[in-house]
Amino acid sequence: MKKITPTSISKQKAAKTRALPLEVDAARRPPLGMTPAVFLRDYWQKRPLLIRNAFPGFVSPIEPGDLAGLACEEAALSRLISQDREHDTWTVRHGPFDEAEFPGMPRQDWTLLVQDVDKWDADVATVLAAFDFLPRWRIDDVMVSFAAPGGSVGAHVDQYDVFLLQADGHRRWQIDASPNPPLAFRDDVELRLLREFNPTHEWVLGPGDMLYLPPGVPHHGVAEDACLTFSVGMRAPSAAELLGDFVDTLASEADESLRYRDPDLAPPRDPAEIDAAAMGRVVEALNMLRMNDPERLGDWFGRFITVYRSAGVVQGEDAADAGDLEAQLDDGAVLARHPFSRMAWRRSARGARLYVSGQALPLPIKDAPRIANSSLIDSEAYRALSAEGRECLMELVRQGHYQLVDDTDEAGPDT
C-alpha cells in the first residue's frame, strides 16, 4: 500500500485544483452550472469562472437610452470614460450629465457607467434574486455600463468579488489567472489602470453569459459592438476601514471615567522609561472598552455593514397612524421597502437585533428575519408580526424605510 504523506496530500490537492475547469455551460443549471455549495467551495474567492448561459435567453430589462437618462439625474452616481487609442490617454468625467450631449458622442471608444441601478430600476433589481446563495448584506449593487464599440475602462484589478453579466451585445474579456500577476498601477492617468497586463485567458461573452472574478484577478473588457454589461459587485471593506470605524465607535461610546490607572505604582528605576508594568496597565485600560465582547462587536458590525453610501436618499415624513396603515393594508395596499434601505439581522443574547441603515433595533427572534427579508409587506405579513414587530415597522415607515403603495405601484427612490 502506498504510504500517504503530507506531501502526497498536497500534490493531490494541487492536481484537483488544476483539473477544475475555468469555463462551464450553465444552460441546464443556471446561474452557476453547479450547486451553490460546489461553487462556493471550489471557486468563490479562489479562481475565476466563465459561465456560459448563466441566464439563458436573457433580455436586458434596461435600454441604453434609459441608462443615459439615469446618468442625468442629480442623485445618480455616474461616470463617462473615454479613450484616445492613438495616444493611449484616458478621460474620466463624472455626472450628472446633460441629455443633449449623448446624441453627439463618438461612434466608438467610450463607456458610460452608472452605480446602484438596482435601486433605481425594479426590473434590474430582479437579477439579484439569482444571487441569494450569498449573504444579501455582502452584495453592494448592480452597476450597469453601456459601451460603444471599442469602449473599455482599461486593464484593472478589483479588491472585491464581481459577477460580470453580459446583458446585451458582446464584450471581449481578457484575464490574467497566473499565480502572481503584476499589479503596479500607471501614474499618468486618473483611473487605476495596470501598468502591465499579461492575459492568460480570453473570451467573448454574449447575452446571458457571465464571468465571475474573485478579488485580485487582473481583467480587461472591450466592447465588440454596442453593449450593456451588468456588474454585480460585493461589499468588501478593508481591514483598515473596519478597524477605523470600530475604533471610532469605541471612542465615541467610551465612559470618560474609564482611564489609565496605576494604584500599584512603585518608584521607577528610570523615570523616563515606559516599563513592562506600565504597558500592562495600558492593556488593562484598553480592555475596559470590551473590544472582544461578542455582543458589542456584533452590534457594531451590523450597524456598519448596513450603512450605504447613498443613505441620505432615504428621508422620513409624517406617516399615517397604525390604525390608518392597517386599514390601507387590509384594502390591498402594501409596504414597499425603500431601495436604498439596507437591512440585516443577528441573533443576540436577548432575542434578535434588526440593523437598518446603521441603526440597531431590538426585536423578537421571529420578527427580525421577517422584516429583514421582506421588500414588500402586505396585510398578512403585517398581521404575522408581534406587537413589538408592528411598532418597529411603523417606526421604519416614519423614517422612510418603507412606503405605503397600492399593489400596482412600483417603489423607487424619492428624489
Domain annotation covers residue 303: no
In this structure, the answer to whether residues 157 and 195 fall within a common structural domain is: yes
**pLDDT tens sequence across 62-106:** 999 999 999 999 999 999 999 999 999 999 999 999 999 999 999
Please check whether residue 46 is in contact with residue 39, taking contact to mean a CB–CB distance below 8 angstroms: no
Domain annotation covers residue 16: yes
CATH of the domain at 315: 3.40.366.30
In this structure, the answer to whether residues 283 and 364 fall within a common structural domain is: no
Which of 162, 303, 284 has the alpha carbon at shortest distance from 230? 162
In this structure, the answer to whether residues 136 and 212 fall within a common structural domain is: yes
> Given this model, what pLDDT does residue 319 score?
62
Domain annotation covers residue 244: no
Which of 258, 260, 140, 164 has the alpha carbon at shortest distance from 217? 164
Number of domains in the chain: 3
Domain annotation covers residue 189: yes
Q: Nearest-5° angle of CA 50, CA 56, CA 57?
A: 130
> Given this model, what pLDDT does residue 288 score?
86
Domain annotation covers residue 411: no
> Given this model, what pLDDT does residue 411 score?
54
Q: Over 80: is that where the pLDDT of 357 sits? A: yes
Domain annotation covers residue 370: yes
pTM score of the predicted model: 0.89
C-alpha of 33 from chain center: 23
In this structure, the answer to whether residues 284 and 198 fall within a common structural domain is: no
> Given this model, what pLDDT does residue 215 score?
97
In this structure, the answer to whether residues 226 and 316 fall within a common structural domain is: no
> Given this model, what pLDDT does residue 415 score?
43
Q: Nearest-5° angle of CA 377, CA 379, CA 385?
A: 75
Domain annotation covers residue 248: no
In this structure, the answer to whether residues 262 and 335 fall within a common structural domain is: no
In this structure, the answer to whether residues 322 and 269 fall within a common structural domain is: no
Q: Own/partner pairs for 252-258, CB < 8 Å, 24+ apart?
A: 254/289, 258/285, 258/288, 258/289
Please check whether residue 284 is in contact with residue 276, taking contact to mean a CB–CB distance below 8 angstroms: no
**How large is the average pLDDT for residues 122-129?**
97
In this structure, the answer to whether residues 104 and 147 fall within a common structural domain is: yes
> Given this model, what pLDDT does residue 7 score?
58
Q: How far apart are CA 236 and CA 57, in angstroms?
A: 31
**pLDDT tens sequence across 275-315:** 999 999 999 988 888 877 889 899 999 999 999 886 567 88
What share of the chain in percent tops pLDDT 70? Answer: 92
What share of the chain in percent tops pLDDT 90? Answer: 82
Q: Own/partner pairs for 389-392, CB < 8 Å, 24+ apart?
A: 389/363, 389/364, 390/322, 392/354, 392/361, 392/363, 392/367
CATH of the domain at 63: 2.60.120.650
Q: How far apart are CA 393 and CA 358, in angstroms?
A: 16
In this structure, the answer to whether residues 265 and 123 fall within a common structural domain is: no
Domain annotation covers residue 245: no
In this structure, the answer to whether residues 264 and 364 fall within a common structural domain is: no
Q: Which residue has the higher pLDDT, 34 or 285?
A: 34
Q: Which residue has the higher pLDDT, 2 or 312?
A: 312
**pLDDT tens sequence across 9-28:** 555 555 455 689 999 999 99
**pLDDT tens sequence across 373-400:** 999 999 999 999 999 999 999 999 999 9
201: containing domain: 6-234
> Given this model, what pLDDT does residue 302 score?
96
Q: Over 80: is that where the pLDDT of 238 sits? A: yes
Specify the pairing of strand 359-363 against strand 402-406. unpaired
Q: Over 80: is that where the pLDDT of 407 sits? A: no
In this structure, the answer to whether residues 166 and 276 fall within a common structural domain is: no
Q: Over 60: is that where the pLDDT of 47 sits? A: yes
In this structure, the answer to whether residues 139 and 63 fall within a common structural domain is: yes
